[in-house]
């Protein structure tokens, strides 16, 4: 019998700080705010937290952010780490927390992250931070920030499969419509495909509206064992499967510019969960750029390779489609505070599975997927979530 996390751990608390432009709030303060709200959501006292996992924050001086957060909240955990696998950190943190609980390293783990990219850094500082995340010898001197690495993959996808700029733009239009239904979204005014294509060119083929926002904000999740979950909530959301894959560091060593490690991470997550992509009712997919979503829809198994553009164009990622995606608006319209951005995807999918999303609710959602990635598709983490009825 293969080892499995299926149904062994549940998310029992979700909280988030204000997001978008939140001046005079440090990453630590924002993350603590989200944590207190997650504790309240779970009906839990902070003394019950014995594990803390976070990502790092660009606008914070703390290298050991999980330790600083614990100190700030007066928590002394037995298990702690500050993870950094770029945009995949959220998925990796949830998977790691679930594994730690299942292994007995902790009973209840806080998984949280916050940053203030918008008000805690100047635009030049943010761009510099992103540029310096590339290799200091072989990439950064040649002006290859993260945006350019993703743009290379989109350009190749267009060449190999005939994907169009209009199809990329449809992703932004769809997620903006989703954000219009979501309280607290940073951008809610409607946009059209023409608006996207007429916005400033950033890096071919991406225009400004093809690119994610710059934001402040934080999200916290609380995980505990399935045995304890019902002590805190009537609606625990269970970890059904998880998978990760790390294929390269340098974009010039990416094995295939149009196929990513999401194929492998999703395969492992689906196998652990005992389901397929066809069983997923709602998804949170990392959307740093519009083309990223197109490629992930293919690699996660929602459509065939090369058909992602047409899949989006035909309305399959919104309500009534095959896989409603980023129903909160995603990084393109809700918020993108850096590493914490994908935590918002987890918060949204958990709420969808709880049935608490109001007018943006996906009716009857029982299986959810969150896929996070980063560093020019270098890092990939997939998590499958489910309600009690899926166990």
Domain residue extents for the chain: 9-120+213-390
Mean pLDDT of 91-96: 98
- Continuous H helices in 74-207: 89-103, 123-132, 146-161, 165-179, 193-198
pLDDT score recorded for residue 14 = 98
Indicate if the pLDDT at residue 123 is higher than 60.
yes
Indicate if the pLDDT at residue 172 is higher than 80.
yes
pLDDT digits (tens, 9 = 90+) for 8-30: 999 999 999 999 999 999 999 99
From CA 247, how far away is CA 150, in angstroms rounded? 15
pLDDT digits (tens, 9 = 90+) for 228-280: 999 998 999 999 999 999 999 888 889 999 999 999 999 999 999 999 999 99
pLDDT score recorded for residue 129 = 67
Query: Minimal CA–CA distance to 311: which of 213, 196, 164, 152?
Result: 164
From CA 93, how far away is CA 84, in angstroms rounded? 9
C-beta pairs of 358-363 under 8 Å, 24+ apart in sequence? 358/181, 359/181, 360/178, 360/181, 360/182, 360/327, 360/328, 362/281, 362/282, 362/319, 362/324, 362/327
From CA 380, how far away is CA 311, in angstroms rounded? 22
The answer to whether the predicted template modeling score (pTM) of the entire model surpasses 0.85 is: yes
Query: Minimal CA–CA distance to 5: which of 387, 384, 389?
Result: 384
Give the three-class secondary structure for 23.
coil
In Å, how far are 84, 111, 169, 229, 296 from 312, measured between CA atoms? 31, 32, 10, 37, 12
From CA 237, how far away is CA 367, in angstroms rounded? 10
State the fold for domain 9-120+213-390: Peroxisomal Thiolase; Chain A, domain 1 (3.40.47)
């Amino acid at each position: 019998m293969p080892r499995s996390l299926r149904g062994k751990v549940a998310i029992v608390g979700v909280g988030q700080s204000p997001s978008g432009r939140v001046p005079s709030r440090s990453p630590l303060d924002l993350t603590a705010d989200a944590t207190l709200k997650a504790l309240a959501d779970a009906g839990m006292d902070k003394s019950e937290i014995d594990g803390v996992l976070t990502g790092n924050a660009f606008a914070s001086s703390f290298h050991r952010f999980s330790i600083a957060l614990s100190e700030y909240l007066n928590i002394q955990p037995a298990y702690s780490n500050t993870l950094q696998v770029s945009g995949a950190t959220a998925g990796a943190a949830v998977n790691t927390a679930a594994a730690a609980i299942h292994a007995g390293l902790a009973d209840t783990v806080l998984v949280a992250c916050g940053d203030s990219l918008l008000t805690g850094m100047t635009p030049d500082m943010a761009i510099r931070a992103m540029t310096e995340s590339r290799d200091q010898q072989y990439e950064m001197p040649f002006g290859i920030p993260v945006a350019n690495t993703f743009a290379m993959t989109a350009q190749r996808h267009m060449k190999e499969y005939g994907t169009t700029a209009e199809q990329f733009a449809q992703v932004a239009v769809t997620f903006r419509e989703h954000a219009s239904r979501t309280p607290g979204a940073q951008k809610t005014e409607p946009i059209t495909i023409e608006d996207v294509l007429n916005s400033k060119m950033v890096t071919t083929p991406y225009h400004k509206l093809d690119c994610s926002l710059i934001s402040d904000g934080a999200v916290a999740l609380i995980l505990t064992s399935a045995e304890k979950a019902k002590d805190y909530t009537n609606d625990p959301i269970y970890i059904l499967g998880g998978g990760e894959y790390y294929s390269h560091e340098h974009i010039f060593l990416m094995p295939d510019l149009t196929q990513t490690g999401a194929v492998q991470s999703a395969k492992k997550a689906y196998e652990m969960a005992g389901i397929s992509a066809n069983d997923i009712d709602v998804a949170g997919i990392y959307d740093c750029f519009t083309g990223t979503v197109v490629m992930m829809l293919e690699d996660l198994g929602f459509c065939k390779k090369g058909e992602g553009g047409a899949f989006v164009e035909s309305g399959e990622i919104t309500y009534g489609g095959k896989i409603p995606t980023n129903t909160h608006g995603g990084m393109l319209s809700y918020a993108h505070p850096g590493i914490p951005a994908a935590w918002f995807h987890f918060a949204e999918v958990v709420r969808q599975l709880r049935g608490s999303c109001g007018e943006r609710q996906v009716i009857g959602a029982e299986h959810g997927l969150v896929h996070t990635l980063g560093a020019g598709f270098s890092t990939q983490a997939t998590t499958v979530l489910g309600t009690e009825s899926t166990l």
